Chain A
Amino acid sequence: MTTPEFREILDDYLSSSRELLEKAEDSLLSVESAESALSAEVLAELKRVFHTLKGNSAMMGFDAVAHAAHAMEDALAPCGTGDAAVEEEIVSLLLVAIGRISTAFRAGEVPELAPPEWNESLAALARAGEAAAAAAPGARRPAGAPAIVDEAIRVLGARALSLRVSHASLERLLELSGELHVLLASATERVRRLASRVPSDEATAASEGLEALGRTFDLLEHEIFATRLVPVGSVFSRFRRLVRDLSLQLGKEVDFVVHGEETTFDKSVVDELGEPLLHLVRNALDHGIELPAERLARGKPRRATLTLVARQGSNLAEVAVLDDGAGIDVERVRRKAAEKGLRVAGMDEAALMDLVFLPAFSTRTGVSEISGRGVGLDVVKASVERLGGSVRVRSRPGCGTEFRLTFPLTLAQTNALLVSVDGETFALPVSFLEETVRLEGAELHRVVSHGVLRFRDRLVPALDAGAFLGTARVSEGRRRFASILSGGGRHKALLVDRPLETVRIVVKPLDESLGRPLGISGATLLGDGRVVMILDAIGLLDAHLEELRVAAGREL
């Protein structure tokens, strides 16, 4: 059947079928790992999923899928009677069937005729069903329905609770909100200047009116951002199956634990989070977690634990991937770095571990079919940074590894400190700014090849903003202030001429043709109409890597 309507709906059918299969798979995996029981609700939910898939497929004329869905729905019939052995077998067979059918949907092709492996799987299900039916005659029918008329009266008084909104609408709302913000800031600024140049009651009233408008707008904007928040659990659930299959393949025994699935992130982050998390999970399973025998030999429990956790702070949201595996061998990293001719003499452990994010920097000597050859981590870092976040790694040899991804809660806007450097103004995002201190002169030292600042009984690497950004040549002692950046456990002092005010800015990404200039993460439009570059706080915190690249004179 290829009516025009059919063609228009095909994509929807494919994606909805994929979702339905994922949902069923997730439920079944949960039951299989004994995290949930095959309760009446779970069973009803599964039947619904298969039934919907059957109905949709029948509507589209995909009889092979409709037939398969029907068979899977029927297969659930003997379940719920409390026979654990029967249920276990059926759950397992269903997972196999779903896996085979899902393959077709992932490839985007729906078969007209059922392929042999489907038939094989469905036949096995049918056999299991027959065996169960023979063993346990008849299931009880559920109790009768309440009085019909009473229900009608109850129902007609009910209210609808939620509304469906398209993604396109949400994007548009965000765009308009951003434009409105800029217009409002500009108008507020102009009226303020007018009021100060030509003071009058009207001008003051106008200025106050705009400020009130601004405050209300902030509230509106907050609500708009809130509509975009989506629980991260939808991404996490995909990994259950992957961890199970991959650990079986690798011969490792892994418990998969998830915390904080209800934590919400901006929709655009959740949409893109899957890829980087996938790399990290694969890495942990492939490189981090040891084989059972090795773990026992080290006095560790046979089963390893892989944890995915999400949590929310006041300004930031974090996702972490933790494993209790072998950890990163820092000495190997140091040796490898030396081999590549990098000067790592002054580096502490944390800085050395960051080297794993450099492309083609892998401590594995062989090529692994599963994770590739260390290509994953630099891609993870790039993906996360593209989303406005940052990633850092922490590890203890023999104990385990943690990769922590941090994202600002709202992506499009942020508070920033304006700073002046060599006559130019730059914006520094406040979420990475710990403090700005005045330099009295003697605190700046030169240690090895870079400057160091004493800040609260600690030595913090210092970077001259002008030198880094290319606005002027550095000259010691000229900068009067240092903005202390902190993020991911690292600190860096950025030497500037003068801090200006803190403002709320709308982050505008740079045009792609400009690439990613060193130290700049975007631009913003100030209320007075000036375009100001936003400093890349994450890049600055990582600056030692950039320096290495430059020093090495080649891509690493």
Chain B
Amino acid sequence: MRLKKVLVVDDSELVHKMHGLVLQRYQRCEVIHTYDGNQALEALNRDPEIQLILLDINMPVMDGLRFLEVRKQTGLFTEIPVIIISTEGKEDDTARGMALGAAGYVCKPFRPAQLHAIIDGLFDSRGGPEAP
């Protein structure tokens, strides 16, 4: 299944730029940019075609862990896999994120190939994402 729409959740404009470039070159998919968990929930609510979420942990208003908690407890958007964008030194947060239902994580700095591999793993050619 081709990846067509990805939601990136991060409060750094630079990270958005980087993800935008990497993802657009990979399967030419569209990227939705949001800057905290709050905005991410809104975007998911508005757009039923989002297939993947790339999530930063440390953000203002609503951070990544809180977003995952909301997603888990309400059961909303659980069919959309979440990949955590992890920072060195915050392994605890990454582990908690995985426990809260994230499907995987990439560590900064990541090579585009790493992200591709994870996405390929989630969206295998037999169609549909694997269960998170």
Contact = CB atoms under 8 A, between A and B. Distances in A.
B58 A152 contact: no
Main secondary structure of the interface of A (DSSP, over half): helix
A66 interface: yes
B13 A16 contact: yes
B21 A5 contact: yes
Interface stretch (B1-9, B106-114, B122-130): B106-114
Contacts of A8: 21
Given A9-B14, A155-B41, A156-B41, A51 B58 contact: yes
A161 to B, nearest CB: 11
17 contacts: A1-B109, A1-B111, A5-B25, A12-B17, A48-B60, A52-B11, A55-B12, A55-B15, A58-B108, A59-B109, A61-B109, A66-B88, A148-B70, A149-B74, A151-B62, A156-B41, A160-B39
A55 B56 contact: yes
B74 A59 contact: no
A56 B70 contact: no
A120 B51 CA distance: 47
Nearest to A53: B12
B118 interface: no
A142 B5 CA distance: 37
Size range of the chain A interface in the assembly: 20 to 34
B27 to A, nearest CB: 15
Contacts, number: 82
A59 B70 contact: no
Contact of B42 (A9, A56, A58, A156): A156
Interface in A51-93: 51-52, 54-56, 58-61, 66, 70
Q: Give me the 8 closest cross-chain CB pairs, A-B, nearest first.
A: A58-B108, A5-B21, A61-B109, A59-B108, A152-B70, A56-B14, A155-B38, A148-B73
Contacts of B78: none
B79 interface: no
A294 B50 CA distance: 70
B48 interface: no
A3 interface: yes
B22 interface: yes
B87 A55 contact: yes
B88 A156 contact: no
Given A148-B70, A152-B70, A152-B76, A59 B111 contact: no
B22 to A, nearest CB: 6
A543 to B, nearest CB: 49
Contacts of B62: 151, 155
B69 interface: yes
